[in-house]
Amino acid sequence: MQNANAPESSLIGEEYEVEVGPVAHGGHCIARTEEGRVLFVRHALPGEKIIARVTEGEETSRFLRADAITILDASKDRVEAPCPFAGPGKCGGCDWQHAKPGAQRRLKGEVIAEQLKRLAGLTPEEAGWDGTVMPAEGDKLPPGEVPQWRTRVQYAVDAEGHAGLRKHRSHEVEIIDHCMIAAQGVSELGIEKRTWEGMASVEAIAASGSNDRQVILAPRPGARLPLVELDKPVSVMRVDEHDGGIHRVHGRAFVRERADGRTHRVGSGGFWQVHPKAADTLMLAVMQGLTPRKGETALDLYCGVGLFAGALADRVGDQGAVLGIESGKRAVEDARHNLADFPRVRIEQGKVESVLPRTGITEVDLIVLDPPRAGAGKQTVHHLAGLGARRIAYVACDPAALARDLAYFAERGYRVRTLRAFDLFPMTHHVECVAILEPVKKDV
């Protein structure tokens, strides 16, 4: 069956009966047609027999993207998706609503293991990892219940002003009346109940460290902001249609978050971990791995609003020193505010690869890096490896980028001491890892 609007060479709409193979990075599984075509199939599970319908691809494509539209032989790990908006052709936010929570974590573990082996040449044992992906505190729930963890939700708005979420790999909006993984503080705002005429998107933020609530409105060109009347008090920000900057309309320009016993100001929609337990979970994993000592020097790279820099400063004490580097101007302002009571902390603004060489730093005791999804890259990794740190903590939201960078560290004499993985994005394919590295001991 072929899509009448697709080009002649398109295979969109074609259906294949296939057996589903292993999970792959990106929230899908791999299958092959009888002719040997590779399918990246969503809404399937390893070992199942399904009918897959092609959603992207042509005769000449290296692989085709597809949805499992009929399950002929189901996996024991399959459940009925709790969310009515999950499934083929619907919301693209969740990848694994159709899998038991324990199976989701196993699948994520298999992806991490595959990426480590393929890109870094490491087995789980060589990476100091037991192969498990740990759930966040409070996320183990009875079947059919979904953790309400997403403290930041960006709603897309259709031409009629209705709020929803994007379909997978699409600009189309799936109109919803409730997002099951949204934190209670987001849901109670009632974003989905009202219309947002003239808006392209509405982002809702519910701080987990306070009662602060914020919405960020992105107007369509020439549109006026609506009067925001929601079910709970909120501050309102707007995205400038010319420069993309975020400006205060009314209320606070920031929300207050808590981690490591400290309050952190996060302004203008700046980065903060989305799961309410994530900041403390990752901070604790990093500090346990690094074991900071009084008087040590440390770097916090891609430092955001200063979560790890503050934790390091607290532990290295007045005789130690911490340098943070962050590219975002507002995040740097927030980090300096958040860490003002640590005189031995300095925060520099700019890209890590540009600022770090200019600092003149030639040696350091500890390094934390929490790079964006693309990773730190070869140049930065090689520079860091030359600073002689006794331990390095790498916080990664993408296992492929982590594995690539671990291979670069290995080239310069650093091995993975331990690796831990955390399921801080339930129902999605995303997973967070913390790798602790140390120099390889040279034979005398």
**H or E element, residue 72:** strand 64-73
Between CA 222 and CA 285 the distance in angstroms is 47
| Helix, strand, coil distribution of the chain in percent, nearest 5 | 20, 30, 50
Contact 83, 146 (CB under 8 A): yes
Q: What is the three-class DSSP state of 293? A: coil
d(CA 279, CA 287): 12
Residue partners of 251: CB distance under 8 A and separation at least 6: 214, 233, 234, 235, 236
Q: Residues 94, 179, 397, 433: which is the catalytic one?
A: 397
What is d(CA 357, CA 401) in angstroms, rounded to the nearest whole number? 22
- Please give the single-letter amino acid code of residue 276: P
In degrees, to the nearest 5, what angle opens at C-alpha 123 toward C-alphas 120 and 129? 105
Rounded to whole angstroms, the Cα distance separating 392 from 408 reads 13
Which one, of 184, 44, 132, lies nearest residue 423 by Cα? Answer: 132
Q: Which H or E element spans position 388? A: none
397 catalytic, yes or no? yes
Answer whether 280's CB lies under 8 Å from 312's CB: no
Tokens of 151: 């403290």
Contacts of 200 (CB under 8 A, 6+ apart): 156, 157, 218, 219, 220
Closest CA to 158 of 171, 173, 180, 143: 173
Distance of alpha carbon 134 from the chain centroid: 16
Catalytically active residues are 397
